[in-house]
Amino acid sequence: MKGASRVAGVVVLAVFAALLSWRAVWTARHLAVLAPMGGGDPAPAFRLPLLDGGDFTLEPGVVTVIDFWATWCAPCRVELPHVDAVARRYQGRVRFVAVDAEGPEVRPAVEELKRSLQLQLPIALAGDDVSGLYKVTNLPTLVMIAKDGTIAHVLLGVRDEDEISRVVERLLK
């Protein structure tokens, strides 16, 4: 009995080690796909409908700030007014868009959130696929795009107006 238990334990450990090794090899081979986007990566092009009508299309040649958020995300509700204030401050010099990282069915919740927070910045709807393009795994996520169309900075979590403005100022130089 004792010998059978020992053999079973060795077999379980060997299977676990083999699975762990396979996972490490798979991850190493797919690292480029799994790695989050960051400084220097080209910003994926996209077009999304805006809450107030029209479309938002990513265009190179202008500094752009994309705020990925969701209606259910409490930290996003804290950050959106900060992003909105910075967007008003840099209006005409920097493009801002708040991309709801959910499907089109949440439009009524987006409308209510815009009203309750008195947001003025453009809000793009149905950004679930676009958040996938940008490999967004945390909300809120701010993606700062340089004039040349590359991702200059990615800021995760709630950021205040001063921090957002400092990054925008560096991109405008």
pLDDT digit string (tens) for 68-118?
Answer: 999 999 999 999 999 999 999 999 999 999 999 999 999 999 999 999 999
Query: Would you give per-residue pLDDT tens digits along the chain (173 residues)?
Result: 677 777 777 776 766 666 666 665 544 554 444 445 566 789 999 999 999 999 999 988 999 999 999 999 999 999 999 999 999 999 999 999 999 999 999 999 999 999 999 999 999 999 999 999 999 999 999 999 999 999 999 999 999 999 999 999 999 99
Token pair, residue 58, equals 């990513």
Q: What is the DSSP letter of 6?
A: H
DSSP one-letter string for 29-78: HTHHHHSPP-TTSBPPP-EEEBTTSSEEE--TTS-EEEEEE-TT-HHHHH
SS3 136: coil
SS3 118: coil
State pTM to two decimals: 0.79
Residue 15's contacts (CB-CB under 8 Å, 6 or more residues apart) are: none
Beta strand 95-100 pairing with 64-69 = parallel
Token pair, residue 7, equals 């053999």
Closest among 109, 159, 154, 147 to 131, alpha carbons compared: 154
Token pair, residue 152, equals 């200059």
